[in-house]
Amino acid sequence: MSSTVELTKENFDQTVSENEFVLIDFWAAWCGPCRMFAPVYEKAAQANPDLVFAKVDTEAQPELAAAFNIQSIPTLMIVRDQVAVFAQPGALPEAALTDVIGQARKLDMDEVRKSVAAQQQGSAQAE
């Protein structure tokens, strides 16, 4: 029994909006590093049952991969309160994945939202 959720363009928005902490693994079946990362990701999912661990098959869901400008796989993205707080290509070792999850858990989302709002204001003024 997998503890990960398969994301599609049909359930993506609902999954991200209904859960405050979602990890997303962008992968493909033909990708060797993706297959090596899969058991590490699955183990982290089992160790963190309070979080949503999701997978996007970039071959089956090219629109989602394009929407997030995924250039290489695997890419791990973490979304908290509907804000992408982490995105990094490459298969993370178990210790690094655990560390990233810990850091994302500690984020002050009020501060993150203020920072995002300030960045959006700055880019709007620059246009």
Interval 16-75: pLDDT, tens:
999 999 999 999 999 999 999 999 999 999 999 999 999 999 999 999 999 999 999 999
DSSP string, 64-81: HHHHTT--SSSEEEEEET
Residue 1 in this model has a pLDDT that exceeds 80: no
| Active-site residue set | 31, 34
* CA angle (46, 48, 51) in 5-degree steps: 115
Q: Which residues contact 57 (CB under 8 A, 6 or more apart)?
A: 6, 27, 28, 29
Residue 2 in this model has a pLDDT that exceeds 70: no
Residue corresponding to tokens 């993205």: 77
Rounded CA separation 36/41 (Å): 9
**pTM (2 d.p.):** 0.90
Percent of the chain with pLDDT over 70: 97
Beta bridge partners of 27: 57
**Predicted local distance difference test score (pLDDT) of residue 97:** 96
Alpha-carbon torsion, ordered 93, 79, 49, 7, to 10 deg: -90
- Which DSSP symbol is given to 26? E
Residue 117 — pLDDT band, cuts 50, 70, 90?
confident
Q: Which residue has the higher pLDDT, 25 or 3?
A: 25
- How do residues 42-55 score in pLDDT, each as one tens digit? 999 999 999 999 99
